[in-house]
Each structure stands twice: as C-alpha cells, then as structure tokens.
Amino acid sequence: MPPADKLCTIHNYTNRRKAGPDMSKQVFPGDELSSIEEYAAGYGAYDDGQSVRASIIGQSVLNSQERVIGSSGPLVPVPRPGDTVIGEVAVTLSSRLIVTIRFVNGRRVTNNVECVLSTRNIRMRIVALAGDVMVLKIVSILNGNIHATVDEPQLGVLFTKCRRCGLGVITHRDAVKCAECGWIDDRKLSSEFGQSGFVKAQ
C-alpha cells in the first residue's frame, strides 16, 4: 500500500458516500464509469462526449445527490480550491503577494508552484514581507494563476522578521514588535503565529 498521505479523500463534495461494495470499484485511467446522461465527471474523471471515464487510478466515488462520479487516488503536488497551503513569500507587489507553496494540507511539496494573494482589500500597511512564512487557503484557479486568501483568523503570517534589523519579532496585539530594536510593524498574523508543528523530519 502507498503511504496514507498519497491517497486523497474528496473533501470538496458534500454528502459524499463511498459507494457500497456493489458500486465502488477499483478504476484505472480510461475505465468507463458511467454514461454522460447518468452522471457528470467529478474529480478524477473526465467526459469524452459519450462516457464519463476515470482519469486517475483509485476507488470510484459517487455522489448520487449531485449526480457526480469520479475517482480518488494519488495526489499531485498542486493544490485545489479549498486546500490549505503553507508557503514562503517570494515577491511583494503593490496589490498582491506571490507565495511559493511548500506544504499542501500538511504534505511537503517540492514543485515550487506559486500562488497569488491579492492584498488590495486588506487595510494594512504591510501584509507580509518577502521571505515570510504564511498559511493560506486556495480559493480558485483562474487565468493560469492559483489564487489564495488570508481572510480567516488562522490564515496569515506564521513567521516573519523585523523589517529594520532582520531579527526575531514577538506579537504585539495585532502587530509585531522586534525583540531587539523595538520596532512595531503591521502584519496579517495567523492565530497560529510562531507555531512550527508543520515542519517534520523527513
């Protein structure tokens, strides 16, 4: 069996049920799952114009309420909408941040894919600095970019440094204060600021 983190569960579907032994089956890319009249292609499936077919190896997954069929299987290192990611701020621009993704739902990834965080509607002088570690939620994949949000208390900066002297900071109400020089600065802080439990020995 592959490691458990290589198998995904489809958490995007509400009322998902793994079809009973008579319904759920092991599927391989190209296997026919249903006709297009019966079900729509969900995650792990595609529509070839006549049939819905599996696109990844896995267990077939049926959502009979929404009439969607798909397959669960090995995960690719690219996040999907709804996933939580941890990454490093690569670039800061006037109205957005580019963040290189390092963890997807707690799983270390090495594919250097970036996501975009719009900062236009965040009323803060500094949301994050380049090099900061942030936790974000993926909202969409649009026009070739992966878009993320920080609009939840647990989302935002996990680790940062003082903008003036580059040393460690402590939280100071909603802001951060340099432990060395006392400089106080804005950041969109995560409620889990400073917690490094996601880093594990490989």
Residues near other proteins, by CB under 8 A = 1-2, 6-7, 25-26, 28-32, 44, 46, 48, 53, 55-58, 73-78, 88, 102, 110-114, 131-133, 141, 143-145, 159, 161, 196, 199-202
CB of residue 54 vs other proteins: minimum separation in angstroms? Answer: 9
CA angle 62, 76, 193 (to 5 degrees): 105
CB of residue 37 vs other proteins: minimum separation in angstroms? Answer: 19
Compare residues 65 and 163 and give the one whose CB is closer to other proteins. 163
Residues 6+ apart with CB under 8 A from 25: 59, 60
Nearest residue to 119 via CA among 141, 88, 98, 144: 98
CB of residue 35 vs other proteins: minimum separation in angstroms? Answer: 15
Compare residues 123 and 200 and give the one whose CB is closer to other proteins. 200
CA 80 and chain centroid, separation:
6
Compare residues 22 and 37 and give the one whose CB is closer to other proteins. 22
- Any idea what DSSP says for residue 33? E
Compare residues 155 and 158 and give the one whose CB is closer to other proteins. 158
CB of residue 1 vs other proteins: minimum separation in angstroms? Answer: 5
Alpha-carbon gap, residue 191 to 174, rounded angstroms: 10
Compare residues 123 and 177 and give the one whose CB is closer to other proteins. 177
Alpha-carbon gap, residue 187 to 126, rounded angstroms: 6
CB of residue 13 vs other proteins: minimum separation in angstroms? Answer: 17
Residues 6+ apart with CB under 8 A from 124: 186, 187, 188
- Any idea what DSSP says for residue 152? S
Using CA atoms, how far residue 51 sits from 10, 27, 33, 153, in Å, is 21, 14, 7, 43
CB of residue 101 vs other proteins: minimum separation in angstroms? Answer: 10
Compare residues 102 and 137 and give the one whose CB is closer to other proteins. 102
